[in-house]
Amino acid sequence: MNLYRAALALIVAPSLLLAVSYAQTATPPQPSAHNAIVNGYQSQWWKEAVVYQVYPRSFKDSNGDGIGDLPGITSKLDYLQKLGVKVIWLSPHFDSPNADNGYDIRDYRKVMTEFGTMADFDALLAGIKQRHMRLIIDLVVNHSSDEHKWFVESRSSKDSPYRDYYIWRPGKPNTASPTGFDPPNNYPSFFSGSAWQYDSGTKEYYLHYFAVKQPDLNWDNPKVRAEVFDLMKFWLDKGVDGFRMDVIPLISKRAGLPDLTPEELKNVGNAYANGPHMHEYLQEMNRNVMAKYDVMTVGEALGISLQQTPSIVDDRRHELNMIFNFDAIRINREGRQWKSWTLPEFKAIYAEHASKLDVHSWDTVFLSNHDNPRLVSSFGDDSPAFRVASAKLLATMLLSLRGTPFIYQGDELGMTNYPFKAIGDFDDIEVKNAYKADVLTGKVSEQAYLANLRHMSRDNARTPMQWDGSSNGGFTTASKAWLAVNPNYKEINAKEELADPDSVYNYYRRMIALRDHTPALIYGDYKDLDPQNKAIFAYTRVLGPEKSLVILNLSSDPVSFSLSRGLKARAIVISNLPTAEKDLSNLKLRAWEARVYKLE
Ligand code: NOJ
Ligand code: CA
């Protein structure tokens, strides 16, 4: 089954793009620090901030149990402040049995025991605010854990007041099946097998798009929506600054839950997203919650195409501020299979974003997170000769393209994919379930499965942060971390990089500072200067008289490049390799060289 595929196929009816105007019953949003219009865009703090994602399990262990925790993050806030990031996105920190590393929540108002206490959370938040940074947390409300008290109640009886908090259906009678039933329809789970789980207590099935232990909440029940809005307010009233919303386009299910067609089964993400009430529920959430606070929201937009993006993020619709669109990050895969890609295809994605999203629809830029392999291993060249240069080039690109940039922990050090050798090296439920479904049934050879996972397993990004050259990279004092530390921690670690002015970390710092001080890199127009070039990515960001030119050689070979448009460089503002070249009609770029010029 092709799961998690980038949503490319759906074309939305133009009428959907027209803003539906919903009555604003709530208090108007508090104004942000400044409300200027810049190049047509309403300026906002979350458009100007660089966001850094922390995966708490793997960031820093403070108590020697091998698992990262909240006091560990607090101990590293100076490191993050020094880097210059203004917003931290914390992956789930809530009470969870960890079937999917916290994306299965048992209690939305409690901190995961391994991560610490609510007092630890409050201390973390206070430390972030003290340093003039902000915190967004993960809102995982398409599903909960099966150990959440709502589900425990829900499964206890068909008459439970919580029964309709989840999606229960009778099976299709089949005397040949061990339970006497087949699942209610042909929906597959993203984590292999059917999306339906039979429950012998009440002899019905419940829906779970992800793991069996992640039952989907029933958003059509107004009580569920009220519960979600309440828990959001609980955290906002503590002072958090917004949410990253997990698989939010999946919350509204199709009426009657009909079987998917064979075509739809090729990309279930698209089929599950964009249900009939999705916009209605997001607008209701906005009226009830977001409109009352100065927050930032970013939806993980599985199944949302670029064409559909304005229907969620257009600021006149009052839904979400931004979404993650997966077109760029998934360019290197077909379903779960790694595939090659070309630079012109990659650049076309950014050009299309610039042309389809107008001043009302703000974009995001990201090429890594906890669900994807390491940035430098996927989009750069992680061989010893080019790792540092290519990691810096990627920093230049992420921090100068259109949209709010998201950096994933460790990418600022140029951390790489892990050299996985055997299935036992993995932790991820997606990997383990697919191993059972595909390898143990003989559909895929073990060798091919592992070779592919080395490129694209989520565990590549989940290995612990490499803080120094001591045992386990300084992540933990335990003899063993919950997931093995990459053996390259002696060469790649924060301590070395902080001390080295030429490190990837210090390059990120400079590049973040440059973006902060260059409004053209935030609000400027974007133009790709050579879309067909197979090695060079060259673009301008222009805001009135302020013009930045970015030139990147995304190849491991030297390339000559000439810009014959009368463009004149005034100065080189940053480069990842020393250079003084200013004649734009005759440039010699070394492998993975990146430069930003100020133009006349
Ligand atoms: C997306 C999250 O990013 C991923 O880690 C998780 O497994 C699924 N949603 C289910 O919550
Ligand atoms: Ca710990």
Q: 582-596 pLDDT, tens per residue? A: 999 999 999 999 999
Ligand 2 centroid vs 441 CA: distance in angstroms? 37
Q: How remote is the C-alpha of 307 from its chain's centroid?
A: 19
Catalytic residues: 246, 300
Nearest to 326 by CA among 6, 98, 5, 81: 6
Which residue(s) pair with 334 in the sheet? 337
Is the pLDDT reported for residue 25 higher than 70? no
pLDDT range class, residue 10, cuts 50, 70, 90:
very low
The SS3 assignment for 128 reads: helix
Contact yes or no for 563/538 (Cβ under 8 A): yes
Pick the residue whose CA is nearest to atom 4 on ligand 1.
Answer: 371
Nearest to 117 by CA among 71, 80, 149, 75: 71
CA distance 305 to 310: 10
Q: 165-193 pLDDT, tens per residue? A: 999 999 999 999 998 999 999 999 999 99
Ligand 2 centroid vs 467 CA: distance in angstroms? 15
- Is the CB of 114 inside a 6 Å radius of any atom of ligand 1? no
CA of 141, nearest ligand number: 1
Nearest 10 degrees: CA dihedral of 339, 345, 351, 352? -70
At residue 34, the pLDDT reads 60
Q: 94-104 pLDDT, tens per residue? A: 999 999 999 99
Structure tokens that stand for 536 in this block: 């060079």
At residue 224, the pLDDT reads 99
Residues 85, 394, 412, 59: is their CA dihedral positive or negative? Answer: positive
The string of DSSP letters for 261-297 reads PHHHHTTHHHHHSS-TTHHHHHHHHHHHTGGGS--EE
Most ligand 1 atoms within 8 A of CB, residue of 247, 300, 330 to mutate: 247
- Is the CB of 210 inside a 6 Å radius of any atom of ligand 1? yes
Is the pLDDT reported for residue 466 higher than 70? yes
The SS3 assignment for 467 reads: coil
Is the pLDDT reported for residue 302 higher than 70? yes
pLDDT range class, residue 336, cuts 50, 70, 90:
confident
Ligand 1 centroid vs 147 CA: distance in angstroms? 17
The SS3 assignment for 541 reads: strand
- What is the 3 state secondary structure string of 291-328? HHCCCEEEEECCCCCCCCCHHHHCCCCCCCCEEECCCC
Contact yes or no for 336/431 (Cβ under 8 A): no
- Is the CB of 300 inside a 6 Å radius of any atom of ligand 1? yes
CA distance 177 to 171: 11
Pairing of the two strands 242-245 and 134-139:
parallel
Ligand 1 atom closest to the CA of 91, numbered from 1: 3
- Is the CB of 522 inside a 6 Å radius of any atom of ligand 1? no
Is the pLDDT reported for residue 8 higher than 70? no
Contact yes or no for 554/535 (Cβ under 8 A): yes
pLDDT range class, residue 542, cuts 50, 70, 90:
very high
Ligand 1 atom closest to the CA of 142, numbered from 1: 11
CA distance 532 to 530: 6
pLDDT range class, residue 21, cuts 50, 70, 90:
very low
Ligand 1 atom closest to the CA of 210, numbered from 1: 10
The runs of H, that is alpha helices, within 157-221 are: none
Return the axis-axis angle of helices 504-516 and 387-398, rounded to nearest 10°: 20
End-to-end alpha carbon distance in the chain = 52
Half-sphere exposure for 437 (CA within 13 Å, toward CB): 15
- Is the CB of 100 inside a 6 Å radius of any atom of ligand 1? yes
Contact yes or no for 376/414 (Cβ under 8 A): yes
- Is the CB of 272 inside a 6 Å radius of any atom of ligand 1? no
Contact yes or no for 545/373 (Cβ under 8 A): no
Residue type, 411: D
Return the higher-pLDDT residue of 566 and 126.
126
Ligand 1 atom closest to the CA of 429, numbered from 1: 7
Ligand 1 centroid vs 96 CA: distance in angstroms? 14
Is the pLDDT reported for residue 23 higher than 50? no
Pick the residue whose CA is nearest to atom 8 on ligand 1.
Answer: 103
pLDDT range class, residue 565, cuts 50, 70, 90:
confident
Structure tokens that stand for 485 in this block: 């530390």
CA of 59, nearest ligand number: 2
The runs of H, that is alpha helices, within 465-598 are: 494-499, 504-516, 519-523
**Cα 311–Cα 317–Cα 321 angle in degrees, nearest 5:** 80
Contact yes or no for 190/210 (Cβ under 8 A): yes
- Is the CB of 140 inside a 6 Å radius of any atom of ligand 1? yes
Lowest mean pLDDT: which of 20-34, 228-242, 507-521, 585-599?
20-34
Average pLDDT estimate for 383-412: 98
Ligand 2 centroid vs 481 CA: distance in angstroms? 10
Residues 6+ apart with CB under 8 A from 175: none
- Is the CB of 217 inside a 6 Å radius of any atom of ligand 1? no
Polymer length of the chain: 600
At residue 35, the pLDDT reads 74
The string of DSSP letters for 58-119 reads GT--SSSSSS--HHHHHTTHHHHHHHT--EEEEPP-EE---TTTTSS-SEEEEE-GGG--HH
Ligand 2 centroid vs 460 CA: distance in angstroms? 20
At residue 564, the pLDDT reads 78
Is the pLDDT reported for residue 6 higher than 60? no
Pick the residue whose CA is nearest to atom 5 on ligand 1.
Answer: 371
Half-sphere exposure for 24 (CA within 13 Å, toward CB): 10
Pick the residue whose CA is nearest to atom 11 on ligand 1.
Answer: 103
Structure tokens that stand for 550 in this block: 């970015």
Residues 6+ apart with CB under 8 A from 490: 469
Tokens 């360019």 map to which residue? 331
Mean confidence (pLDDT) of the chain: 94
